[in-house]
Amino acid sequence: MIIAIDGTSGSGKGAIASQLAKILDYNYLNTGLLYRKIAYLLKKNGLVYSSNIAITHFLKNIVIANEKIDENILQSEEIGQLTSIIATNGYIRSIMTDIQRNLVIKNNKIIPTIVDGRDAGSVVFKDDATHKFFISTYLHTRAIRRFKQFNCKISYQRIYNSLLKRDIRDKNRKIAPLVLTKNTIVINNNRTLDFTINNILFIING
């Protein structure tokens, strides 16, 4: 089956998804990381503000999933903000949808996968996901977690403002905005990671 886990930036959906994949022995697809790789590669090759034709040609001629890039670079605030910007590009999202689906559905057969993203359940695997979850976490909680993640090198207020801007951009973009679908279950992640994961496993196991 495909289990889609969407949510806001810093909500903890990545940690939840990766742990669930280990517990259930599923593949794990981090779509946010794929977008961050694209943002980094476009920046590196000077293509961020190029034509859609040039960007499309570039993306169709590289295997994004196989690109090895330093994790610290991909998780930087700069790449995060750039990722949010390119994610509003319809051409890029269309290519990314195909890439994500090809990684999970091969020869019409589904590879059991936990998909972590922002539109995994609402767009990419809208008709294929067996379970859809949306991770909800208070903005303050997310900012505190990021503050600790960056070892306090970036001010709390700067992180808070960055997450707020990201939320607004993700929720209001015209293409594949961050939304809740009718059959998506909202999971509150303001408590411990174990509590949240056990909650999700209880729902999955019926």
Quick one: tokens of 165?
Answer: 């801007």
Please tell me the total count of domains within the chain: 1
Q: Compute the distance between CA of residue 40 and CA of residue 46 in angstroms, rounded to an integer.
A: 10
- Is residue 206 in a domain? no
pLDDT at 68: 84
Predicted local distance difference test score (pLDDT) of residue 181: 85
CATH number of domain containing 37: 3.40.50.300
Mean predicted confidence (pLDDT) in 114-130: 92
**Mean pLDDT of all residues in 95-113:** 91
Residue span of the structural domain in which 23 resides: 2-201
Residue 164 has pLDDT above 90, yes or no: yes
Q: What value, to the nearest 5°, has the Cα angle with vertex 119 and ends 114 and 123?
A: 100
